[in-house]
Structure 1
Amino acid sequence: MTEAWTQAVRHQLDPGRLLPLGGPEDGTWITEQAAVGTLGRAAAEIPGVLLESLRIGPAPLEPVSEPVVRPPVSALPPGPLRIEAAFTAPLGQLLPETAQQLRSALLDAAAERLGLAVVTADLRVTDLDEGPETGVRPVPETAAARSSPPVTGTGSMRGSAGELAVVATAVPGVARLTAVLGSRPVKVEDHDDPPGRRIEVHLAVAPGHHPVEVARAVRDAVTAAATTDTTGPVTAAVLITETAA
């Protein structure tokens, strides 16, 4: 993967849609920016293909499901997704074969590396190229992209949120907690009618770990920890903002 691809992904989605990850029972979402980064690394493995743009969104006319936990604000409901990508193809190769190779790489990476329920990939060829470079053309940085710094510690969080941040950070596969557009990495909301507690954790996944498996472990850990000091049910949602998958 080229450095240009990494920078372009960070800059163009800001962080994009919040996509359902796994099934309705997983209570996990991933930023479009993080998912596109993973798919871009898969595309960069195809010789001669230059990925120009890539978006992920809901598949039209497909049914959606109700998640087991309350989703993050503006998150898409669990359901089938669609990839839309534009790319420059290498000269000297049949376009249908190149497109099919890219489509397979994107769909496989979405399913196997992330756990996204992508059902189709719509591709558009924008140009033909003789050069050997692979990756994606960089795009201008936006203000939103500059406003999502990582969180490397939990010292600024106090009370229940701080305690749960320590629990989440200790789960194997969690690289660090993160903040999306200035949000808190751990949110805790107690409610009385009905009684219970809602938790939301934002995190980056470490290399060598599957995002859905890490999210499940984090949900189990923070739910168990929160249950000891509250009455009523405890639910936890996870938002993955970075992954090395």
Structure 2
Amino acid sequence: MPAERLTHMVRRQLGLGRLLPLGRAADGAWIAEEAAVGVLCRAAGGARLSGVRIGPAGPATDGPAVPPPPSALPPGPLRLTADLAVYADPTVPAAVDAVRGALLDCADRGLGLPLTAADLRVTELLDAPAAPEAGGRGGSSAGSGTGGSGTEAGGRDEAGRVARAVLAVDGVARLAPVVGPALSRVAAGPAASAVQVTGASGERRHVLVEVALSPGVRALDAARAARTAAHDVLAGTGRAKAAPRVTVAVLVTAVDPPLTARR
């Protein structure tokens, strides 16, 4: 389909890579491949990864519980493939196993990424432990304006309230949509398309929120909290039974590196 190919080309040009599922289908969360790779590369320690790709480990068994971001992979197990430059201490197989273990542990504990396999090909032996690299960009690009459902004032107001609630979530560094400058906590107003609300008031609503996360936070946990915050703005915690159905999807477009990794 032309629209699908265009979406794929745009995301490739922006360097986000694939949009990978976080957690399970019910979590309604995704992360940009570039952001995930940056975190995983930092977990590799002195080893150096290159040509990293993350994709499905097999056919998806469940469809997403909420409408996914455009071109996002369906929930399911993932496989990482990469070339590896490693310091052979004490042996190459032991070093590769250590890196693989670190990647799988980081995917689970650091991201909530359902990574079940890491296929590593040793392409270089290092003479000494390599200094850790920053890996990945500190933030994704973001738009300007309010976003929301169309140009109606009601949509802009809803997007603004959702944005403020999401920015108050612990671990959310800023709104970070795919296009334009990122929005910090101190910036005035939400960024364009960082919060997209579809559906008319009183009907079924869907929200897509794009965020960048602070270093050290587990991506899945922060995405879950952001989903809850966005949902409560539109559904209301006290009258959820009477409110129309609201679904929320969260896309993590960037994870900021630790300060030590930026030097």
Instruction: Tell me if TM exceeds 0.5.
Output: yes
Counterpart in the other structure of 1:14: 15
Per the TM alignment, residue 156 of structure 1 is displaced from its structure 2 partner at its CA by 4.0
- Shift in Å at residue 75 of structure 1? 0.5
The alignment covers a number of residue pairs equal to: 222
CA shift for structure 1 position 243 = 2.0
For 1:242 and 1:88, the matched residues in 2 are separated by: 25
Following superposition of structure 1 onto structure 2, how do residues 84-103 of structure 1 map, counting pairs within 5 Å? 84-91=81-88, 93-103=90-100
Name the counterpart of 2:205. 197
Task: Quote the offset at 1:123 in angstroms.
Answer: 0.6
Tell me which residue corresponds to 1:211: 219
1:36-59 CA distance string (max 9 Å, x none): 01101101x2x4x22223111111
Give the Cα separation in 2 of the matches to 1:22 and 1:155. 31
Amino acid at match of 1:234: V
Distance 2:14 2:101 in 1: 23
Distance (Å, rounded) in 2 between the aligned partners of 1:123 and 1:205: 28
CA separation of 1:110 and 1:84: change in aligned 2, threshold 3 A: same
* Residues in 1 aligned to 2:171 and 2:27: alpha-carbon distance in whole angstroms: 17
**2:197 is aligned with 1:188:** yes
Go from structure 1 to structure 2 and tell me whether the alpha carbon gap of 1:198 and 1:156 turns closer, same or farther (over 3 Å shift): closer
Query: Hey, which of these two has a bigger chunk of strand by percent?
Result: 1
Q: Distance in 1 between matches of 2:250 and 2:68?
A: 9
- Normalising by structure 1, what TM-score? 0.80
- SS class of match (1:195): coil
Q: Aligned runs of 1:49-64 on 2, under 5 Å?
A: 49-60=47-58, 62-64=59-61
After superposition, the Cα gap between the structure-2 partners of 1:135 and 1:124, relative to the gap in structure 1 and judged at 3 Å, is farther
What's the CA shift for 1:149?
Answer: 2.0
Distance in 1 of aligned mates of 2:131 and 2:29: 32
2:172 alignment partner in structure 1: 174
Matches for 1:98-177 after TM superposition, within 5 Å: 98-135=95-132, 148-150=140-142, 156-157=146-147, 158-177=156-175
Cα distance in 1 for partners of 2:172, 2:140 equals 18
Q: Deviating runs (4+, > 3 A) in structure 1? A: 134-139, 154-157, 228-231
Cα-to-partner distance string for 1:43-89 (whole Å, 9 max, x where unaligned): 1x2x4x222231111113x4431121111000001000001011112
Say what the alpha-carbon RMSD is for the aligned residues. 3.1
Residues 1:13 and 1:56: Cα distance change in structure 2 (over 3 Å): farther
Unaligned runs of 5+ in 2: 1-11, 148-155, 181-191, 258-263
Give the partner amino acid of 2:169. V
